[in-house]
């Protein structure tokens, strides 16, 4: 396999999680009686451009199906994050009713609805039918297709270049990152701005966040590598922010290469931090696997001990993080009888691979567990605040990443 960006032959394995089904391929009762498709889940690091990337097997059409069940609006924390961003970017760029905003991977309209309320024209691009329909129900125009150079050119030819292009947690999801970046440039109006948010590879390594690895994430991104990709395709990053979302993310601000906006000092500071942490040192990547294995081993030992002593454990959060962790650890319903999730689209289904049933959060009140294993550790505080009744009765809230601990 060659690097998806620079075409250098990939030789260095960063992480091998064996085989797993797509993390969002939730199963129905009938599906449990049929074969399940698994793919290798392995990451390589390119020693030329330092792009970390999955082994090339799964196709996007197999991962983002019409019944794709991730709805961004499920998380109140994420909705608040989107609202804050909208207010900030409107002020910073001076957006008004004469502006035009495009969001790539608009999901269920969690963000663009804020622009609709403000009277700012917008367009969502969202290939998954279920989430696209939810966005359209909120008055957001949606193109139901994958974004890339061809669509970017069509938008430009139709006079629909944007003053602002938003991509939250999509840049890591695209199999052809070069084609996607060309599309961004083509769809961007002269003088326009691109903002992309993505989990920061530096945080993944520092905090052993291997459960953020799944087939839908084709790339794991540092600022160094994103800056390189932008530059190759005649774009430039002029500012960057560090965010707390998803365990530590970056928000980069991109413009056309010839744009005269001055580059901020924050860019150099983060590039220096990446360099000091060894993100261009193969030894850093080659020491990661044992750390992931320890997280897995500790979780298995904990669940076995709870079963042995008769303590009841339930899970919360039927998200991709949970699927990766549970499948790599080989956890089945005998150790974790059920997982709850607020997304109605997931309730009554089963987690891929592990076949653990997904229930409504009401099940936690009906069958209060001794321990609640929170799989999406990045919103653990939000979830604990939602289950005060469990907290008051003595339920212990537990996370497994970066280390097993009660919170």
Q: How far apart are CA 14 and CA 16, in angstroms?
A: 7
In a shared domain, residues 260 and 299? no
Backbone angles phi, psi at 114, to 5 degrees: -70, -35
Single pTM value for the model: 0.90
Residues 268 and 368 both lie in one domain = no
- Give the per-residue pLDDT at 398: 97
State whether 342 and 215 are in the same domain: no
Residue 239, φ and ψ in degrees, nearest 5: -155, 160
Residue at 84 is within a domain: yes
Determine, yes or no, domain membership for 66: no
CA-nearest of 10, 3, 18, 29 to 215 is 18
Q: How far apart are CA 154 and CA 182, in angstroms?
A: 12
In a domain, 199, yes or no: yes
The CATH number for 142's domain is 3.40.50.150
Looking at the structure, do residues 282 and 373 belong to the same domain, yes or no? no
Is 120 inside a domain boundary?
yes
> Stretch 323-347: mean pLDDT, rounded?
96
For 67, counting Cβ atoms within 10 Å of its Cβ (0-12 exposed, 13-18 middle, 19+ buried), the class is: middle
Model confidence at 387: pLDDT above 70:
yes
Domain boundary residue among 286, 315, 345?
286
Q: What are the pLDDT digits (tens) for 138-159?
A: 999 999 999 999 999 999 999 9
pLDDT on residue 64 = 53
pLDDT at 276: 98
**Any idea what DSSP says for residue 221?**
B
Shared domain for 78 and 143, answered yes or no, is: yes
Q: 247 and 119, same structural domain?
A: yes
130 and 237 in a single domain? The answer is: yes
In a domain, 32, yes or no: no
Domain that holds residue 186: 72-286
Looking at the DSSP assignment, which residues form a beta bridge with residue 198? 250
Domain co-membership, 305 together with 276? no
Sequence-separated (6 or more) residues with CB below 8 Å from residue 49: 3, 5, 6, 8, 225, 228, 229
């Amino acid at each position: 396999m060659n690097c998806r960006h620079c075409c250098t032959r990939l030789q260095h394995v960063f992480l091998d999680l064996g085989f797993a089904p797509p993390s969002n391929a939730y199963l129905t009762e009938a599906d449990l009686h049929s074969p399940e498709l698994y793919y290798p889940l392995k990451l390589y690091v390119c020693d030329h451009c330092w792009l970390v990337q999955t082994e090339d097997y799964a196709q996007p059409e197999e991962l983002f199906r019409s019944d794709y069940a991730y709805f961004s609006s499920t998380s109140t924390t994420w909705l608040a994050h989107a609202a804050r961003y909208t207010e900030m970017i409107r002020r910073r760029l001076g957006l008004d009713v004469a502006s035009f905003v495009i969001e790539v991977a608009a999901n269920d309209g969690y963000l663009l609805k804020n622009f609709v309320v403000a009277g700012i024209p917008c367009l969502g691009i969202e290939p998954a039918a279920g989430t696209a329909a939810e966005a359209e129900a909120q008055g957001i125009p949606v193109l139901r297709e994958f974004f890339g150079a061809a669509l970017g050119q069509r938008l430009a030819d139709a006079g629909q270049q944007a003053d602002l292009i938003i991509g939250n947690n999509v840049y890591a999801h695209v199999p052809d990152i070069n084609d996607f970046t060309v599309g961004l440039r083509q769809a961007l109006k002269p003088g326009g701005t691109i903002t992309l948010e993505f989990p920061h590879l530096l945080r993944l390594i520092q905090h052993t966040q291997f459960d953020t690895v799944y087939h839908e994430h084709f790339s794991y991104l540092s600022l160094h590598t994103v800056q390189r990709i932008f530059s190759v395709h005649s774009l430039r990053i002029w500012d960057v922010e560090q965010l707390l979302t998803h365990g530590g993310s970056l928000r980069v601000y991109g413009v056309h290469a010839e744009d005269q906006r001055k580059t901020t000092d924050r860019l150099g500071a983060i590039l220096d931090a990446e360099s000091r942490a060894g993100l261009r040192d193969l030894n850093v990547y080659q020491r990661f696997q044992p750390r992931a294995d320890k997280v897995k081993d500790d979780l298995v030992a904990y669940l076995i001990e709870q079963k042995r002593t008769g303590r009841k454990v339930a899970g919360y959060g039927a998200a991709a993080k949970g699927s990766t962790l549970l499948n790599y650890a080989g956890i089945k319903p005998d150790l974790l009888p059920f997982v709850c999730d607020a997304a109605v689209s997931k309730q009554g289904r089963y987690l891929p691979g592990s076949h653990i049933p997904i229930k409504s959060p009401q099940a936690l009140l009906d069958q209060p567990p001794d321990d609640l294993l929170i799989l999406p550790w990045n919103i653990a505080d939000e979830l604990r605040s939602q289950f005060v009744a469990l907290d008051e009765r003595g339920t212990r809230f537990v996370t497994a990443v970066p280390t097993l601990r009660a919170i």
